[in-house]
Amino acid sequence: DQKLHPYNTYQEETAQTGKMASLSEDDFSCPVCHEIFKAPVLLSCSHSFCKECLQQFWRIKGTEECPVCRRRSSNNQPPLNLALQNLCESFLKERKERRSSGSGEICNLHGNKLELFCLEDKQPVCLVCRDSQQHDNHKFRPISEVVPSYKKLSNIRYELHTITHMIILQKSLTVPYAFKTLLRYFDVKH
């Protein structure tokens, strides 16, 4: 069984539903910045990144390798991944339409409106999530009752995620750079 990547199932899914509801934001996120791809480029190893993220990674790292699998890139100007760029644009357009239509936040797992707040897991859930085994015997409140505190919590979580990502990126780039610098230092001394 060959596992299909979400991009490969896009046409079949949109033909059936007319929407990308079951694809989550993670499916369209750059592994470096964790944001929706901006001008995605495709490496020969089949990994995609925002063009700017990849160029910045290569500048800091000092070598042209894939940030995910570390395979060396043979092309210092990788081609744009136009299919992925079109999918990202469609995803963003659909998300904007859902939000402007007043449908509120959407569940990443099921594509449904987040209507409830799970008090045990401290997260918003849709009705399908509520009925799932993961939330058995949990207590819920309508999301409207907890929106002010939830929004504050969401902002804090986002900031924490951003800071954590920056620390991880900094560590992943600093250690190899320091190691290379030390190697060069010892080569010069000896």
The pLDDT score that the predictor gives to residue 5 is: 42
Predicted confidence at residue 143, as pLDDT, reads 85
Q: Is 48 buried (19+), middle (13-18) or exposed (0-12) by CB count in 10 A?
A: buried
Location of structure tokens 């797992």 = 109
Tokens of 83: 């299919």
The pTM is what? 0.48
b (16+ CB within 10 A) / e for 149-176: ebeeeeeeeeeeeeeeeeeebeeebeeb
The answer to whether 64 and 72 are in contact (CB under 8 A) is yes
The pLDDT score that the predictor gives to residue 6 is 42
Are the C-beta atoms of residues 118 and 125 closer than 8 Å to each other? yes
pLDDT attached to residue 34: 87
Mean pLDDT (10-residue bins), the chain, 190 residues: 39 44 76 92 95 94 94 93 93 76 70 88 90 93 79 76 75 69 70
At 101 the pLDDT is 56
pLDDT at 68: 95
pLDDT at residue 58, as a whole number:
95
CATH 3.30.40.10 at 1-103, yes or no: yes
Residue spans of the domains in the chain: they are 1-103
Cβ neighbourhood burial of 87 (10 Å; 0-12, 13-18, 19+): buried
pLDDT at position 27 is 84
> Do residues 124 and 112 lie in contact, with contact meaning Cβ atoms separated by under 8 Å?
no
Check residue 163 and give its pLDDT. 81
